[in-house]
Amino acid sequence: MAADGPFLTLDERVGNAIRTGAIPSGPAEFFADLGNPTVALPVLAAALAYVTWRTRDLRALLPPLLAMTLVPVLVGPLKALLARPGPPPMSPETGFYPSGHAATAAVAYGLCALLLRRREVAYGCVVVNAAVGLGLVRQGYHWPVDVIGSWCLATVLLYATAWALSRSTRRSSSGTPSC
Domain-located, residue 96: yes
Region 8-31 average pLDDT: 90
Domain-located, residue 7: no
- Where is 41: in which H helix or E strand? helix 37-55
Between CA 14 and CA 81 the distance in angstroms is 24
Domain count, the chain: 1
Q: What local confidence, expressed as pLDDT, does residue 18 receive?
A: 92
Q: Prior bond to 24 cis, omega within 30?
A: no
Region 116-134 average pLDDT: 96
Could you tell me the residue range of the domain that residue 142 belongs to?
32-168
Domain-located, residue 5: no
User: 134-145: per-residue pLDDT in tens?
Assistant: 999 999 999 999
Q: What local confidence, expressed as pLDDT, does residue 163 receive?
A: 95
Between CA 79 and CA 87 the distance in angstroms is 15
* pLDDT of 17 strictly over 60: yes
